[in-house]
Chains A and B, each alone.
Chain A
Amino acid sequence: MADKKEVLRLQELAHQARVNLVKLCGAYNGSIHMGGDMSTIDVLTCLFHHTMHISPALQDDPERDRFILSKGHGAVCMYIIMALKGFFDYQEICDTYGKEGSKFGQHPCKMRLPMLDASTGSLGHGLPIAAGLAASARQKGQKHRVFCLMGDGETCEGSVWEAAMLAHAQRLGNLVAVVDRNKQFMTSYSEDSMRMEPYADKWRAFGWHVIEIADGNDMTQVVDALEHLPAPESDSPTMIVANTTKGKNISFMEKQINWHAGSLNKEDMQVALGDLEKVIEQQRKEL
């Protein structure tokens, strides 16, 4: 079982990330991918603050873990979580986000942010890149892992399954992919459009070691799952299917197609911040 104190710490960090994101969404005069950010924020927080061997000081360590944000539209959520780890300054993100010349924009750009492991944004591209990084690490005899976060919607892309086959064939046990299974695409519910279930079985059939998280917005479950990764020397790539809720913890966003992306006015921002406070207070009591 996950250590309660650590879960509490990560929960607080995820809460802080949600608050920071909501405030940025209120201040920014443009659209933010709130729905998918809110669904993935707990997993992403656990990855950056608990699971991955990374930090600003480790940047030049050849055996630090690598991370590919295949769902590149989650960039601002990642910047905010990385800022909490000391990679960036939150205020700078808020002041410059999306502006001409900024390092921080809608999709991550390695040309502007060299500490990232790839530029992403076009969906279905991340897993092949991550597989290449994992193959390179194997060939060099390095012991780190390569993590890749995908949205469930982007796994409709054929290129994902090309890489899924390859990772199995190359026995890339140092590759860990996470799918944010929020069951919503941009403009529809996944099961209405694509009938993706039985989803985890698809990855099993491709030879992956599959870990399912029943509630990927429950930090205890997330920590538990990510603490049980096979050794990077193992033979099978790992797929974590995190069942999540799009728009999680904000009452008027949860499971709403309209809130794939958007911009918050002052009143809605206050409602959202109030919702987040209620949730964290409840979480503090429970643990």
Chain B
Amino acid sequence: MKIRVLAVLLTISTGAALAAPMSVQVRNCRVRATPSQLGATVATVEYGAVVQAGALQNGWYPVTTADGKTGWVHESALSKKPIVMRAGANDAATGVSSDEVALAGKGFNEKVEAKLRKDGKLDYTWVDRMAAFNASPDQIMKFRLQGHLPGGVQ
């Protein structure tokens, strides 16, 4: 019994030790109730926001958001590199070297796209229309169910 308690304590402490800050690297990050892309959304987290992530399990991190909500986020939505949002931001103050920082908001960004639009070089009308095609998790579930596709989603 003592050994079992010790094992549980060890597991908990190991899990806590593994929790590390990670940055959201996609625009709309949904925190899911279950480790599934079609799991219910318990919170949405902004681009560049930091969450506390536990140990990776089959491509999913258990996370805690800044306001204390817990759930799961797929690894492709998170980055170990801190994300500096503003152009010209002084990351020296944070003590993080540029090499460890994702240069978000710098480089190829909305400023570059705005310049191409302004110069009349590219027409984004259909790109914007295309980006507006969005199937909700409910629509996808229904589509799969009706099409006799297996219910289990990773």
B is bound to A: no
Give residues in B with beta carbon < 8 Å to A: none
